[in-house]
Amino acid sequence: MKVYIVRHGQTASNLAKVYNFFEEDINSNGIKQAEELSEKIKDLKYDVVYCSPLLRAKHTAEIINRNKIETIFDKRLEERNPGNLEGRPWDTTDRDEYWNYYSEVQFGTEESVKHLFSRVHEFLEELKTKKHESVLVVAHSGVSKAFYAYFKGIPEDGKFLNLGLKNGEIAEYEI
């Protein structure tokens, strides 16, 4: 089964470089990114769309899913919850440490990288039991990092900061 993962278009929080989990829509640049991605993948065949239930992912999916293929929302595809870091600038934490799989550092009440990866990997294990030929997943940077870990493994240093998709990017994997 082919699995395509897309990261949602840009949001104001992405642009401002602040932690966010709340319901935030994509901004005008995010809409443009989604429209460009829609054009890029117009000939891509997929049986179903799995999508994070967060607004920014839902809006991106709505734009790129030109053929109105069935969309299934799954909470396991939500972004890593930053807890009480919500709304705070990224530079209030050591970003390499924040995205280090092996780190024991807790910056606040954020969801751990291991927990995020565990729930996304559970989703992928369940996906293996489905009879799809090809699926499109619309989610977030953290989820794309978990996909990377699932398909390519954990880097020796455990660092995932630069291994996620950028806004409006797509990656392809094979289960």
User: Which pLDDT does position 122 carry in this prediction?
Assistant: 98
Question: Residue 22: is its pLDDT beyond 90?
Answer: no
Q: What is the pTM of this model?
A: 0.97
The pLDDT of residue 134 is above 90: yes
Pairing of strands 134-139, 71-73: unpaired
| 5-21 mean pLDDT | 97
Rounded mean pLDDT, 142-166: 98
pLDDT of residue 60: 98
Separation CA 3–CA 161 (nearest Å):
22
pLDDT digits (tens, 9 = 90+) for 46-84: 999 999 999 999 999 999 999 999 999 999 999 999 999
What is the C-alpha separation between 131 and 12, in angstroms, rounded? 38
Q: Which fold has domain 2-174?
A: Rossmann fold (3.40.50)
The chain-wide mean pLDDT, for the chain, equals 97
Q: What percent of the chain has pLDDT over 70?
A: 100
Domain boundary assignment for the chain: 2-174
Instruction: Give catalytic residue positions.
Output: 8, 79
The Cα–Cα gap between 89 and 95 comes to 11
Mean pLDDT (whole number) for 149-163:
97
In terms of Cβ atoms closer than 10 Å to its own Cβ (0-12, 13-18, 19+), residue 97 is middle
Position 117 pLDDT exceeds 90: yes
